[in-house]
Amino acid sequence: MLVLEYKIKAKPHQYKAIDEAIRTVQFVRNKCLRYWIDAPSEVNIKRFDLNKYSTELRSEFAFVKALNSMACQASAERAWFAINRFYDNCKSNKPGNIGFPKFQKDNRSVEYKTTGWKLHSTKRRIKITDNKGIGELKLLGKWNIHTYLVKSIKRVRLLRRADGYYCQFCIDVECVDVQPKTGEEIGLDVGIESFYTDSNGHQEPNPRFLRKAESDIKNTQRRIYKKNKGSAGRRKARARYSRKHLRVSRQRNEHAKSLARNVCKSNDLVAYEDLRVSNMLKNHCLAKSIADASWYQFREWIEHFANKFEKLAIPVPPQYTSQECSQCQRVVKKSLSTRTHVCQCGCVLHRDTNAAINILRKAKSRVGHTRSNAKGVATSTLVGATLLEQVATMNLESPRL
């Protein structure tokens, strides 16, 4: 799957119509979720039942009927995805929060399948053909969507962000760009002091995008509370505040993407730690720094480019990667503040370099024992149930595309 994104240029009434469609999608999803919650325990609600219920909502509410029928089905599917994820977490005995589905109050997108839209012959405009009054939208961007067949477009999504409205196309094509083999192998140890340290001793600086923008974000946030509630000034202040966070989010994404692309392009095997970042964020002393480093996003892009370039990416369990000596495998206990690995065998290395070498060694020992899938990502036993969220296949903006 390939996701292409354009920015939308439209008139004010069209933006309002998109907002109305987005609110309708949220309404349908929440009603389907309530239908599942209120169902008797002996009734087993399935995906088809929610789709059928969304059809009943169309006959009951006029504003739901105005939305395209397949967009209503996609809204019901959103509820089912949340329910199914909850079932999977229960079956796998996931520790901690098992993710009971919640009612949505901040939906920002409406999704059409193969109907409800029509591309202009120039492929630079799209017309939404349901009764919400959205009409024809101009597409701004440099993607060459005209090189793909219209029938290969499986989803169209209208998305609202802090800086405007966007249109995403999900295209059913095989995204492969075979790169020549380099014969190189690398192990990566992510951290806070440096973004990552590889097994060759290179340390990539940590950009700390949030830390650099934090003072500006806080000033913008304080301006919100100086405005009267419900006023236009408060709405504008909130929009400025949202754009600040959106900029940091995009910086993190582009940084992780460029590094992951270079790493996968120049190495045939990339080994990295199979970290449970969500658990690590429970450490309140380091949570902000860990989130700012965006380790999980970096992993997503590594798996994506390993798939695209037909390289091998192997997650390694993180246990003892920092404590073991990379030269003699003796366990050398050290605290987090100890940054240099010193072993009795005479090995003296930076702590993260030692860990990266251990990660590469363990990955190479597991190559014959791990199950390598068709995506070019060797799956460990810990990657587990929800690679939908840990995306082995890359979903650029939204996990639903």
Complete DSSP assignment for 95-113: SS--------S---EEEE-
Average pLDDT (129-148) is 87
What are 103's two structure tokens?
């009612």
Query: What is the structure's pLDDT at 378?
Result: 45
Mean of pLDDT values over 341-353: 83
Task: Write phi, then psi, for 140 (nearest 5 degrees).
Answer: -110, 120
Q: Quick check: 5 pLDDT over 60?
A: yes
Q: Which residue has the tokens 């050398």?
A: 332
Residue 213 to residue 216: CA distance in whole angstroms: 5
Does 177 or 64 have the greater pLDDT score?
A: 64
Range with the poorest average pLDDT among 25-39, 204-218, 301-315, 355-369: 355-369
Which strands sit side by side in the sheet containing 109-112, from one edge to the other? 109-112, 153-161, 164-171, 2-9, 135-140, 125-128, 117-119
Confidence band (pLDDT; 50, 70, 90) for 376?
low
Q: Which residues contact 7 (CB under 8 A, 6 or more apart)?
A: 139, 140, 141, 164, 165, 166, 167
The residue among 268, 264, 359 whose CA lies nearest residue 315 is: 359
The number of angstroms, rounded, from the C-alpha of 335 to the middle of its chain's C-alpha atoms is 32
Average pLDDT of the chain, as a whole number: 84
pLDDT class of 261 with cuts at 50, 70, 90? very high
| Chain segment 64-89, per-residue pLDDT in tens | 999 999 999 999 999 999 999 999 98
- pLDDT bucket at 401, cuts 50 / 70 / 90: very low
Q: Please name the residues in contact with 190: beta carbons below 8 A apart, sequence gap of 6 or more.
A: 196, 272, 273, 275, 293, 295, 298
Q: How far apart are CA 104 and CA 75, in angstroms?
A: 11
Give percent above pLDDT 70 in the chain. 91
